[in-house]
């Protein structure tokens, strides 16, 4: 189970729970529980700026859609690249999609 700052402050005895209500795959029509939190990562080599932030265009993906997202991705994945994905980075930002595990590998 992963805890993120936007999940709110947690007491030591509390834990975040991944549920269909809070962490459903955000691909239109998908009923699956999200397995990944999607982040955008980019490094701007001239200024040395690093961007690592939640992908607001598609914040959660199930295993099937994450795999499909990578198989169908188009573009150079080099430094400060712009990759076109079917589900994530719909704003066309520089960078690549990264997937943070929400669930253990043997679930979902």
Structure tokens at 84: 């076109």
In the predicted structure, residue 8 carries a pLDDT above the cut 50: no
- Sign of the C-alpha dihedral, residues 82, 33, 29, 54? negative
Residue 26, pLDDT score: 96
Q: What number is the average pLDDT over the span 90-95?
A: 93
pTM of the model: 0.77
Question: Distance between CA atoms of 15 and 107, rounded to whole angstroms?
Answer: 18
List the structure tokens of 45: 């080599």
Question: For the segment 33-85, what is each residue's pLDDT rounded down to a tens digit?
Answer: 999 999 999 999 899 999 999 999 999 999 999 999 999 999 988 888 899 99
Could you tell me if 96 and 81 are in contact, meaning their C-beta atoms sit under 8 angstroms apart? yes
């Amino acid at each position: 189970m992963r805890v993120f700052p936007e999940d709110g402050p947690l007491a030591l005895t509390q834990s975040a729970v991944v549920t269909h209500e809070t962490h459903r795959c955000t691909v239109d029509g998908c009923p699956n529980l999200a397995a990944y939190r999607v982040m955008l990562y980019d490094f701007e080599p001239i200024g040395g700026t690093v961007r690592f932030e939640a992908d607001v265009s598609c914040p959660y993906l199930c295993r099937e859609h994450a795999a499909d997202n990578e198989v169908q991705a188009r573009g150079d994945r080099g430094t400060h690249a712009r990759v076109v994905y079917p589900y994530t980075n719909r704003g066309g930002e520089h960078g690549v999609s990264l997937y943070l595990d929400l669930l253990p590998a043997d679930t979902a």
